[in-house]
């Protein structure tokens, strides 16, 4: 069967992403725009998995309903299921970033409810170049400038981008050849948005040789450098990092011998591990933390310098109001096991805090700094402390990291 250039690129990408084991069911996120509609049609013609289509209406434009109607009509014409989700902006933060995050969360939830483990997205080569320019303008380093991954895991779902080697215009050519109508989002021409500015800038930069292909090539180089840095980070972690009751400790004697860029990565990774934050702290903040001589708050953590090492513990202020049932995971990483036969009704997990320390009849176990004890998991009945295993008040309760 004759394949068009975009189809050949898609087939090659799918072979690379899935090998000989594509998923039985593949979710496809389709907005009604040219990129995602072309992806859907080519995946249908590929036929390697049963497709389920999902769209998200952000409620920001009246035209969105008409665009999703295009998707619904296409799905109906080809016997595909189609679900339309809604998302509403709360007015907080950057609109486009909030819309991307909200869309991804909504689709992930939909996929889990449908029993789908993998969802395909329509990002293209042009998206790669635009993202590179936007991050370059923000002063991103190697990780930020690295090319988008064709496959990654997030929110319990595998996300795949099989069109990263395909240009946006070639997909429009494909759609015209297939007589498929798509919608052009007018916000893609609104110069208030950074991505639109980057898209417009590309036409100017091309005269200097900074074409989409050249920028994507550079992003690919950055991705390879990111792999090297990741390998070095593993080696540094194995020799420099120890753990103590959920805290991360960087051994100063070894850490001080590391290149500054590698130590920055190691500290950023440790902060994210302790806080559970999805994003790493900003580069300048991490640099400042490396030079700190006094306790410093950063990224929901406390950095406690000592002559022999740098201890990173959870900051009590970041979790002082965090509560959950004793059967749930607290702060995204702590699990409590009650004594056998214990009645757990009415009990909750919260930070030990100064109030809890005052309620302990015996002094807490030595070894952990007070700051670490304050943010450690404890079992409460209302305002009464029941157990604080890491502080030595066990009463038959056990605590473990998940």
- Maximum distance among all Cα pairs of the chain, rounded to whole angstroms: 79
Strand partners, 25: 50
For helices 194-205 and 125-137, angle between their N-to-C axes, nearest 10 degrees: 100
- CB contact at 8 A, 401 and 334: yes
| Positive or negative torsion for Cα 7, 13, 19, 22 | negative
Q: Is 346 annotated as a binding residue?
A: no
**Distances in Å between the alpha carbon of 350 and those of 30, 316, 318, 322, 366?**
42, 10, 12, 6, 21
Q: Is 31 annotated as a binding residue?
A: yes
| Positive or negative torsion for Cα 247, 252, 253, 259 | positive
Whole-angstrom distance, CA of residue 76 vs CA of residue 83: 11
Whole-angstrom distance, CA of residue 276 vs CA of residue 280: 10
Q: Is 375 annotated as a binding residue?
A: no
The residue behind tokens 């805290």 is 247
Q: Is 209 annotated as a binding residue?
A: no
Q: Which positions ≥6 away from 287 have C-beta within 8 Å?
A: 264
Q: Is 27 annotated as a binding residue?
A: no
Q: Where are the alpha helices (DSSP H) in 276-365?
A: 283-290, 316-319, 353-359
| Joined tokens for residue 399 | 């605590």
**Distances in Å between the alpha carbon of 318 and those of 297, 302, 313, 351, 379?**
10, 10, 11, 10, 18
Q: Is 247 annotated as a binding residue?
A: no
Q: Cβ-count burial of 294 within 10 angstroms (0-12 exposed, 13-18 middle, 19+ buried)?
A: exposed
**C-alpha angle 298-295-281 in degrees, rounded to nearest 5:** 15
Q: Which residues are annotated as a binding site?
A: 31-36
What residues form the annotated binding site for ATP?
31-36
């Amino acid at each position: 069967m004759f394949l068009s250039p975009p189809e050949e690129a898609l087939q090659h990408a799918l072979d690379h992403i899935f090998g000989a084991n594509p998923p039985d069911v593949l979710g496809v996120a389709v907005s009604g725009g040219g990129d995602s509609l072309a992806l859907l049609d080519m995946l249908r013609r590929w036929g390697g998995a049963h497709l389920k289509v999902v769209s998200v209406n952000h409620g920001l434009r009246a035209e969105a309903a008409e665009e999703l109607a295009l998707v619904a009509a296409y799905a109906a014409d080809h016997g595909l299921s189609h679900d339309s989700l809604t998302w509403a902006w709360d007015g907080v933060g950057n609109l486009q970033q909030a819309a991307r995050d909200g869309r991804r969360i909504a689709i992930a939830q939909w996929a889990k409810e449908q029993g789908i483990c993998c969802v395909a997205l329509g990002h293209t080569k042009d998206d790669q170049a635009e993202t590179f320019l936007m991050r370059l303008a923000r002063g991103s380093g190697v990780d930020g400038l690295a090319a988008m991954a064709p496959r990654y895991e997030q929110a319990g779902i595998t996300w795949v981008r099989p069109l990263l080697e395909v240009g946006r215009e070639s997909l429009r050519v494909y759609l015209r050849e297939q007589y498929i109508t798509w919608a052009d989002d007018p916000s893609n021409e609104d110069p208030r948005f950074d991505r639109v500015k980057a898209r417009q800038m590309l036409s100017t930069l091309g005269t200097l040789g900074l074409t989409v292909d050249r920028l994507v090539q550079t992003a690919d180089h950055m991705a390879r450098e990111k792999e090297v840095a990741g390998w070095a980070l593993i080696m540094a972690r194995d020799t420099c990092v120890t753990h103590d009751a959920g805290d991360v400790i960087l051994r100063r004697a070894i850490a001080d011998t590391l290149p500054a860029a590698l130590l920055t990565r190691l500290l950023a990774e440790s902060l994210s591990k302790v806080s559970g934050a999805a994003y790493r702290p900003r580069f300048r903040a991490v640099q400042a933390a490396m030079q700190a001589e006094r306790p410093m708050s950063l990224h929901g953590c406390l950095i406690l310098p000592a002559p022999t090492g740098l201890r990173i513990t959870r900051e009590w202020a970041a979790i002082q109001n965090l509560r959950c049932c004793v059967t749930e995971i607290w702060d995204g990483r702590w699990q409590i096991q009650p004594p056998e036969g214990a009645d757990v009704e009415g009990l909750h997990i919260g930070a030990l805090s100064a109030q809890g320390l005052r309620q302990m009849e015996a002094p807490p176990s030595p070894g952990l700094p007070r700051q670490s004890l304050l943010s450690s998991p404890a079992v409460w009945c209302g305002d009464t402390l029941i157990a604080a295993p890491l502080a030595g008040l066990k009463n038959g309760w056990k605590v473990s990291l998940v």
